[in-house]
Amino acid sequence: MARKFSIVSWNIEHFRLKTTDHEKVVSHLKSLQPDIFALLEVEGKDVWRYMFDEFPDHSFFITEGKQTQEIMVGVHRRLRCFLTQRTEFKSGRTFLRPGLFLTVQIDGENYNLLFLHLKSMTNPEGFGLRDDMFQHAFRLKRVLDKAMGVDQEAKFLFMGDCNTMGLDYPYGQAIDASKEIRRLVGRARRNRMKLLPKDYAHTWTNGRGLYSDLDHVVASRTIHFQSWDGKAVKVVGWNHHPPGSAAFNEFVNQISDHCALYCEVH
């Protein structure tokens, strides 16, 4: 089965041309050769112009609002696409990020892609806002399924920095990160979706021994993905360097503390 398109989602922490090693960002992206890529935590209008010049075969879209961190999406010109901003993923908070909802049409079929950067923090507010945002994503899946007609399922996925870091709560009621992820797996299953397995266990590090699994891809069962040893998502970034090495520290400190997620739709 031929590849239809490839996708990358990558949280580049506080992506500014003045403070981020943007040349290495571009080099990393170009090594993956994605047809579609979403960059999270974009700050500053100059980033758009720089990426526009570096990727002349892509069209670019970016979220708008009072938030300081935007989501920027690049789509290869060979793909017909339609993109909208979904403000419900702000969950009523002015400075939270909306989602970017992209539809690409291939061989008469629509593929619906939602790029998200969900609320962080382990306090009750952060956990509750993430839960609400996940609920919006699964509600969108049900709406898309209904539009398909009886006994049909939409080709829908959402991906990005889901910040699945759990909940700190007293009285023995805390929820660790792994339990939040298991809850996400169950919700996906009930909505005829699945959490795609990754080829590396962690996607974020502080560079000093702390690691977390924050970035995910959740997809409809009707979408077929390339698999590498049973894993549908490649984690690509600082994890390719020995911890503590110069290359590892350079990636974490000058490029991003998040790895990129890469997958291919077939």
The CATH number covering residue 25 comes to 3.60.10.10
Residue 255 per-residue DSSP state: I
What is the model's pLDDT at position 170?
84
Tell me the per-residue pLDDT of 71-109, one tens digit each, with 9 for 90 and over: 999 999 999 999 999 988 888 776 678 899 999 999 999
% of the chain exceeding 90 in pLDDT: 83
Q: Is 117 in contact with 91 (CB distance < 8 Å)? A: no
pLDDT, mean over the chain:
94
Mean pLDDT is lowest, of 58-67, 92-101, 174-183, for: 92-101
State the total domains in the chain. 1
What is the model's pLDDT at position 92?
77
Report the C-alpha gap between 208 and 50 in whole angstroms: 31
Alpha-carbon Rg for the chain in angstroms: 18
Reduced to 3 states (helix: H, G, I; strand: E, B; else coil), residue 103 is strand
Of residues 241 and 172, the one with the higher pLDDT is: 241
Report the C-alpha gap between 95 and 99 in whole angstroms: 13
Q: Is 135 in contact with 147 (CB distance < 8 Å)? A: no
Residue 21's domain comprises 5-265
Q: Is 254 in contact with 24 (CB distance < 8 Å)? A: yes
Helix, strand, coil percentages for the chain (3-state, nearest 5): 30, 35, 35
Mean pLDDT is lowest, of 46-50, 78-82, 155-159, 231-235, for: 46-50
10 Å CB burial of residue 88 (0-12, 13-18, 19+) is middle
Q: Which of 71, 1, 12, 2 is CA-nearest to residue 236? A: 12
What is the model's pLDDT at position 161?
98
**pTM (2 d.p.):** 0.95
